[in-house]
């Protein structure tokens, strides 16, 4: 029992996090169009779902907090309050709190409780102030509900509730529902059972055989009552009718009649009730029996449900498993090709080609499954720009283009922090305050653009701003201060920009809360390099900066250049290869400065044979692979370039934890192993 509750809890947390993310996104949209009714409804609905789910799965604080917010949005929805910027800021802050409220570990701390109550107080204060301020808007709104569903006055309601047999299977605790109802007012519940099977054997313990006749005296409206049933109304029968505009449950006669009714076997009928109300009318004197028509048909529609999604949720482990199998298949395929090539049997060849085609298609579709659109991160970026802009007194418009561009999910994960940092930098150092912008003849509202798109086998992400750009003098001064360059060093603009990526560099005059927390662009660069990406910065003083991130499309298979050094095969990432030359090996023998002249350029080189300590005779001619490295090129000398190779990356494992230059291994068609070189790490190690 406990286990299953935990399962449901985990499921709930997962869904709630999705909901909260959706909420965040909707709020940001609402910020742009505060009068959009649809968005408002969505916010309200999400709050409601959080409230209901939270209560049901034991997240009491979450539930009560969401409840308060829901109330606020309910008022707005009904047109009694307006959306203001202050409200949105408040709600966005609450979004963070809501997230933390889902975290059991954080929940246990005292800090959480105080945060929660502080936030509640803020919401309350806002609510009171705004209700006061916006009151005049109230009067011109008439009450619209004709069936008396409006909240405000005490009335007695009759609720017939049959949850359906399968209700327990969804993990619904019906007692919670009744508790919820009881919180609305005074509840008198008459439980009943239907269709009880004969004998215990026939009784299915997982079925619910119960239904209820509920009498509720409350000042909450019909909507509020219906909302209690929001999670069960798919399969259940719910009828809600108003019996009287007074509290019948306060009259002793009514209650005693109700109790006597409990002993009767038959279900209640309308006429039964009619007489009741007539009776009680006499007793209370003032009650006006009002019979609304039945609320909708017997089975309520799930009107508040989400639109059906045409997607399924699959755990990432399953995807990883699939990817592994596909990788195996690609390797096996290579093997088959080799064997088929050896025997030259026409039939075998045909089958091999067919299998190859299918493997390729399978690989592509499996990879596309593990891709996530960049837009999944947008809400966080928009949020950051909004919050930070306000905090810094800057006005910024954030535009995202090509957000549908898809990336490997591990890549998305490792991109989030660097991108947030880049945006923070743009806001803090790039975009100027409005006054300054006006002075420079710019639009007072700054603009940050996130552009994403495919370029060959890469994904390119650009973050542009139309801010002040990088001040070369300032960077120079700072670099000098930090001892990164010497006084008379002549640097090109390119080189100055590269200084920004040097560890320990930060241009912010003072350490602000925003950026310059010791975490600099060097960390961004390192994080992106960890997923085999590259960063480049272009900047024009006064016009703005553009930071370009180039990433490989998938992480687990790369296009490589196969080379041989001694007896071992190595794979270099093809995306970094610039050019290939051949050279006499003796040119390397007495070369003291480790620079080769290739194609008219002086290029520093690394003699990999020597570097790897390969013994044996050096071939008379070596081949030189020129690779790109941090804005320049470096030549890697190998024995022989074998050709292009598609490498399925396999980790080397923990025992090689000290190994940085070899990022992975790959299995060749004949079953032997080639090592995948991380050229950047290699060059860094050699030069450092």
Phi, psi (rounded to 5 degrees) for 549: -110, 125
**DSSP structure class, residue 549:** E
Taking the complex as a whole, the smallest distance from the CB of residue 600 to other proteins amounts, in Å, to: 32
Distance CA 401, CA 452 (A): 6
The nearest distance, CB 685 to other proteins, in angstroms, is 9
Least distance in angstroms from the C-beta of 622 to other proteins: 17
Nearer to other proteins, 213 or 334 (CB): 334
Q: What count of other Cβ atoms lies within 10 Å of the Cβ of residue 413?
A: 13
Q: Which of 64, 129, 128, 119 has its CA nearest to residue 95?
A: 119
Question: For binding to other proteins (CB under 8 A), which residues are involved?
Answer: 328, 331-332, 568, 611-614, 650-656, 658-659, 661-662, 665, 667, 671-675
How many CB atoms sit inside 10 A of residue 688's CB? Answer: 5
> Considering only CA atoms, which of 93, 54, 51 is closest in space to residue 74?
51
Nearer Cβ to other proteins (205/651): 651
CB of 659 to other proteins, least distance (A): 6
**Quick one: 393 or 651, whose CB is closer to other proteins?**
651
* Residue closer to other proteins (CB basis): 327 or 352: 327
> In the numeric block, which tokens belong to residue 285?
């004197």
Output the DSSP codes for 82-127: ---HHHHHHHHHHHHHHHHHT-HHHHTSHHHHHHHHHHHHHHHHHH
**Could you tell me which of 143, 232, 137 has the C-alpha nearest to residue 181?**
232
Question: 334-347: string of b/e by CB count within 10 Å (b at 16+)?
Answer: bebbeebeeeeeee
- DSSP annotation of 268: P
Complex with other proteins: residue 244 or 679, whichever CB lies closer: 679
Task: State the minimum distance, in angstroms, from the CB of residue 657 to other proteins.
Answer: 9
Q: Compute the CA torsion angle 17, 20, 25, 29 (nearest 10 deg).
A: 170
DSSP 8-class letter at 145? -
From the number of C-beta atoms within 10 Å of its C-beta (0-12, 13-18, 19+), residue 260 rates as exposed
> Phi, psi (5° rounding) for residue 336?
-60, -45
For 500-520, b where at least 16 C-beta lie within 10 A, e where not — what string?
bbeeebbbeeeeeebbbeeeb
Q: How far is the CB of 669 from other proteins (least distance, A)?
A: 11
Instruction: Tell me the three state secondary structure of residue 142.
Output: coil
Report in angstroms how near the CB of residue 569 gets to other proteins at its nearest: 8
What six digits make up the tokens of 329?
Answer: 């298949």
Q: How far is the CB of 664 from other proteins (least distance, A)?
A: 8
Q: Which is nearer to other proteins, 325 or 438 (CB)?
A: 325
Nearest approach, Cβ of residue 674 and other proteins (Å): 8
- For residue 464, the tally of other CB atoms under 10 A from its CB is 20
Closest to other proteins by CB, 598 or 661:
661
CA distance 303 to 41: 12
- Least separation in angstroms between residue 555's CB and other proteins is 16
Q: Could you tell me if 640 and 613 are in contact, meaning their C-beta atoms sit under 8 angstroms apart?
A: no
| Residue whose CB is less far from other proteins, 510 or 567 | 567
Q: Which is nearer to other proteins, 427 or 674 (CB)?
A: 674
Give the 3-state DSSP-derived string for 335-358, with helices as H, strands as E and coil as C.
Answer: HHHHHHHHHCCHHHHHHHHHHHHH
Measured from the CB atom, the residue of 112 and 668 that comes closer to other proteins is 668
Question: In terms of DSSP bridges, do strands 155-162 and 210-218 run parallel, antiparallel, or are they unpaired?
Answer: antiparallel
Q: How far is the CB of 656 from other proteins (least distance, A)?
A: 6
Q: Which residue lies nearer to other proteins by CB, 453 or 669?
A: 669
Q: How near is the Cβ of 672 to other proteins at its closest, in Å?
A: 7
Q: Minimum distance from CB of 554 to other proteins (Å)?
A: 19
Distance CA 617, CA 99 (A): 63
């Amino acid at each position: 029992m406990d286990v299953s509750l935990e399962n449901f809890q985990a499921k709930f947390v997962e869904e709630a996090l999705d909901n909260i993310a959706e909420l965040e996104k909707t709020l940001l949209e609402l910020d742009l169009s505060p009068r959009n009714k649809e968005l408002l409804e969505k916010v309200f609905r999400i709050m409601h779902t959080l409230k209901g789910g939270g209560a049901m799965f034991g997240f009491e604080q979450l539930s009560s907090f969401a409840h308060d917010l829901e109330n606020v949005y309910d008022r707005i929805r009904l047109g009694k309050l307006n959306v203001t910027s202050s409200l949105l800021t408040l709600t966005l802050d609450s979004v963070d709190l809501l997230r933390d409220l889902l975290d059991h570990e954080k929940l246990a701390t005292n800090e959480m409780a105080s945060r929660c109550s502080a936030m509640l107080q803020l919401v309350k204060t806002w609510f009171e102030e705004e209700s006061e301020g916006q009151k005049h808007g109230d009067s011109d709104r008439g009450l619209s509900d004709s069936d008396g569903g409006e909240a405000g006055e005490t009335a007695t309601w009759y609720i017939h509730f049959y949850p359906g047999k399968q209700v327990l299977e969804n993990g619904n605790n019906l007692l919670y529902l009744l508790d919820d109802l009881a919180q609305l007012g005074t509840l008198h519940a008459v439980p009943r059972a239907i269709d009880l099977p004969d004998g215990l054997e026939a009784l299915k313990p997982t079925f619910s055989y119960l239904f209820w006749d509920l009498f509720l005296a409350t000042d909450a409206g019909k909507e509020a009552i219906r909302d209690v049933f929001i999670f069960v109304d798919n399969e259940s029968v719910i009828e809600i009718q108003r019996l009287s505009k007074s509290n019948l449950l306060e009259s002793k006669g009514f209650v005693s009649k109700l109790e006597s009714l409990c002993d009767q076997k038959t279900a209640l009928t309308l006429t039964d009730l009619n007489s009741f109300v007539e009776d009680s009318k006499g007793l209370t004197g003032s009650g006006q029996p009002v019979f609304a028509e039945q609320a909708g048909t017997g089975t309520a529609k799930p009107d508040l449900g989400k639109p059906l999604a045409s997607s399924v949720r699959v755990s990432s482990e399953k995807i990883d498993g699939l990817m592994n199998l596909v990788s195996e298949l690609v390797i096996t395929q290579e093997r088959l090709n080799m064997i088929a090539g050896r025997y030259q049997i026409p039939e075998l060849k045909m089958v091999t080609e067919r299998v190859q085609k299918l493997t390729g298609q399978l690989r592509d579709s499996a990879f596309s499954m593990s891709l996530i659109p960049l837009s999944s991160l947008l809400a966080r970026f928009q949020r950051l720009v909004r919050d930070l802009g306000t905090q810094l007194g800057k006005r910024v418009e954030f535009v995202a283009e090509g957000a549908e561009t898809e990336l490997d999910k591990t890549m998305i994960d490792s991109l989030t922090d660097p991108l947030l940092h880049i945006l923070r930098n743009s806001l803090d150092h790039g975009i100027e305050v409005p006054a300054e912008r006006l002075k420079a003849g710019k639009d007072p509202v700054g603009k940050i653009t996130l552009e994403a798109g495919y370029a060959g086998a890469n994904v390119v992400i650009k973050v542009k701003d139309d801010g002040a750009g990088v001040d070369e003098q300032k960077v120079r001064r700072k670099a000098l201060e930090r001892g990164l360059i010497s006084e008379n060093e002549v640097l090109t603009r390119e080189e100055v920009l590269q200084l920004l990526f040097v560890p320990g560099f930060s241009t912010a005059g003072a350490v602000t809360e925003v950026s310059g927390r010791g975490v600099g662009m060097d960390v961004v660069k390192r994080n992106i390099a960890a997923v085999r990406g590259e960063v480049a910065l272009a900047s024009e003083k006064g016009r703005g900066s553009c930071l370009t991130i180039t990433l490989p499309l998938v992480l687990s298979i790369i296009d490589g250049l196969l080379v041989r050094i001694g007896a071992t095969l190595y794979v270099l990432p093809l995306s970094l290869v610039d050019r290939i030359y051949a050279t006499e090996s003796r040119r390397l023998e007495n070369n003291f400065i480790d620079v080769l002249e290739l194609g008219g350029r002086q290029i520093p080189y690394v003699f990999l044979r020597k570097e790897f300590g390969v013994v044996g005779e050096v071939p008379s001619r070596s081949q030189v692979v020129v690779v790109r490295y941090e804005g320049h090129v470096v030549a890697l000398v190998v024995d022989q370039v074998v050709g292009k190779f598609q490498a399925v990356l396999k980790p080397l494992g923990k025992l090689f934890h000290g190994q940085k230059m070899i990022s992975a291994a790959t299995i060749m068609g004949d079953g032997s192993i080639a090592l995948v070189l991380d050229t950047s790490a290699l060059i860094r190690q050699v030069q450092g």
